Structure 1
Amino acid sequence: MLKMLLISFLLCMLHLPGYISMAGVVTGSERYAGNERTYHYTLGQRSVPLKVTAYGNRKDVVMISLHDDETTGVEAARAVLERTGGILLSIGNNNQRNITFTQRGITYRFDPNRMFTKTGIKATLQEYSKQSTKSAINAIHGFSNFVLNQVPSGAVVLIALHNNDDAGFSALTYMKGGECEKDAAAVHQSDTRDPDNFFLTTDKLFFRKVRTSGYNAILQHHKAKDDGSLSVFYGKKNRRYVNIEAETANVAEQKEMIETAVSFIREAKGRSRKAARRQMDKTI
């Protein structure tokens, strides 16, 4: 009888949050330590680092930070990934937004979130360098492929992390009369949340989820202007993408938004985009 009671007690303990099982797996409140590896890409005369940090072995949750001066998103992402597991990719650029490199005696500067199509690369080079040569375009395009190749094939949704300044780029930018009005297929403006904090997505199902949850949300138009951004690249490929945009220093809000995106990954895993479209076409 005593032996049976002991076994029952141990079985109950296995279900308590944070209890370590005999297999060494922490249930409920496990924390994953980040295992960071840094890869380098030679861009002209410069070596640009890309940090890939794995939290556990989970590869369906993948986040990316392209602008090294936007640290709020990275801080919030790390706090979530330590609990959920997943992968964080981040470009190292000395805490600067735009990347500068020298090739054949010419110095170029570009926005790393405008490098995923050649049209976008040419435009960002013209904006920041006042010139765009074929060799520079090809070099940056090679770098963008290098970054994309680090995204695991098992990623259900790619989550991009961005930050903005108060009253600058926001959900209002996509509203009627806004600069990016034509890039939005649908817009939801929250009555209670700061428009600086919003989701931009290529996925109808996710748009509905965050809309009904009361967040500011933008569904990107499938014919959005080709600015070379990661959202446009994923939209053209008909792949799931979520940009989580939050005001600088608003870690708590961005963390909450990231948690919402991660919960969607569990819901979306294994469901095809075609099935999602059939479900959502009647609701948007």
Structure 2
Amino acid sequence: MILYQTKYYSTLYISDMFKIVLSLILISASLLVKAQHPPVFDAMTSDSSFIKVSDLDISLVKYSYKPNGVKFLVVHDNEDTGVKAGFDYIRWYGGELIDSQYGGVRDYTFTYMDDPYRIDPNAIYTETGVKTRLKKDAYSSNEVEKLILNAGKQIVDFYNPKATGYFLTLHNNADGGFGISSYLPGYDLSSTADSVFINFEMDGDDLLYVTEPRLFTSLKKANVNVILQSKFAENDGSLSVYAMINHIPYINVEVQHGHLEENLRLIEIAVATLKEHGLIKKDYLPVQKDTLGKATTQ
């Protein structure tokens, strides 16, 4: 009888320990997933919109602090330097940032009717782009294209460029893999660019990308790496192509992963350019810290 009870309690103990360990693993995994996104600071609010593409769940989280007409959009879930820089800007000046969250990876990856699919979330804003860039099996369902186009529409609607007046996106790249030189004659993306201005004192991976000549001219005067998209650029489904087709001013701040200070500097220049051309209607005084370290306005 004693042996039976001992065995019973040992089994129960092991079972309980297994549950505890499993719970700790799940909690740790959850924290790791959330850790890629910057912590929300005091007084910042958030609201979300949810998108479902077959078995893929996408959360669009809009972080807000002192909304002032400045609004950022991040479409890739593995480009967190841009998110952190956007948060730094909002902390000091106010604004909004929409962050796409779907597992900390670059591409949308999902299955539909047991068939695998993959697409870059910066290729889902035009029908032509989805048809040419969706990676799928030869006999896959066309219903998937409708799901993806609808996801792109939901992202655009949540950002609401008609009310905002522009697109201001944040992207990050890897060291040496992509940069301002990619748009020069003879290189992969040369046909995408109408004009290119290079500041050779800057890292070639840090740049701005625009769709309107007036924005290009202002950023060139600011002496930063900048590319003007060609009106003959291939319809690749990207947000910049969507913006050009729909006559919406577009600026992308593209910075190498880890270049946080430069990312913030280029964000400030991009916002100043939008204000210069009257595209940001509202204004808000920058947030300062008083002697106690509390946020104040001047």
Report the TM range for the smaller structure's normalisation. Answer: 0.7 to 0.9
- Residue 154 of structure 1: SS of its match in structure 2? helix
Distance 1:263 1:162 in 2: 19
Moved more, 130-139 or 87-96: 130-139
By how many angstroms is 1:105 displaced?
2.4
- Residue 99 of structure 2: SS of its match in structure 1? strand
Distance 1:110 1:197 in 2: 25
1:276 alignment partner in structure 2: none
Distance 1:186 1:61 in 2: 26
2:234 alignment partner in structure 1: 225
Moved more, 239-248 or 43-52: 43-52
TM-score by length of 1: 0.79
Does residue 39 in structure 1 map to residue 49 in structure 2? yes
Moved more, 96-105 or 172-181: 96-105
By how many angstroms is 1:245 displaced?
0.6
TM-score by length of 2: 0.76
Count of aligned residue pairs for this structure pair: 238
1:24 alignment partner in structure 2: none
Q: Which amino acid aligns with 1:52?
A: K
Q: Which amino acid aligns with 1:46?
A: L
By how many angstroms is 1:130 displaced?
4.2
By how many angstroms is 1:57 displaced?
2.9
Which one of the candidate residues 206, 213, 225 is aligned to 2:222? 213
2:31 alignment partner in structure 1: none
By how many angstroms is 1:72 displaced?
0.4
Distance 2:43 2:180 in 1: 34
Alignment of 1:1-284 (within 5 A): 33-58=43-68, 60-126=69-135, 129-131=136-138, 133-152=141-160, 153-269=162-278
Distance 1:72 1:178 in 2: 26
Q: Which runs of 4+ in 1 moved over 4 A?
A: none
- Residue 149 of structure 1: SS of its match in structure 2? helix
Distance 1:211 1:33 in 2: 36
Give the conservation status (yes or no) of the 8 Å contact 1:72–1:250: yes
Give the conservation status (yes or no) of the 8 Å contact 2:56–2:108: no
Q: Which amino acid aligns with 2:181?
A: L
CA RMSD in angstroms comes to 1.7
> Which residues of structure 2 form unaligned runs of 5+?
1-40, 281-298
Distance 2:151 2:89 in 1: 28
Give the conservation status (yes or no) of the 8 Å contact 1:53–1:88: yes
By how many angstroms is 1:194 displaced?
1.1
Larger Cα Rg: Structure 1 or Structure 2?
2
Note the alpha carbon deviations across 1:21-80, whole angstroms, 9 max, x for none.
xxxxxxxxxx9832111221121133211111122232x211111111110000001100
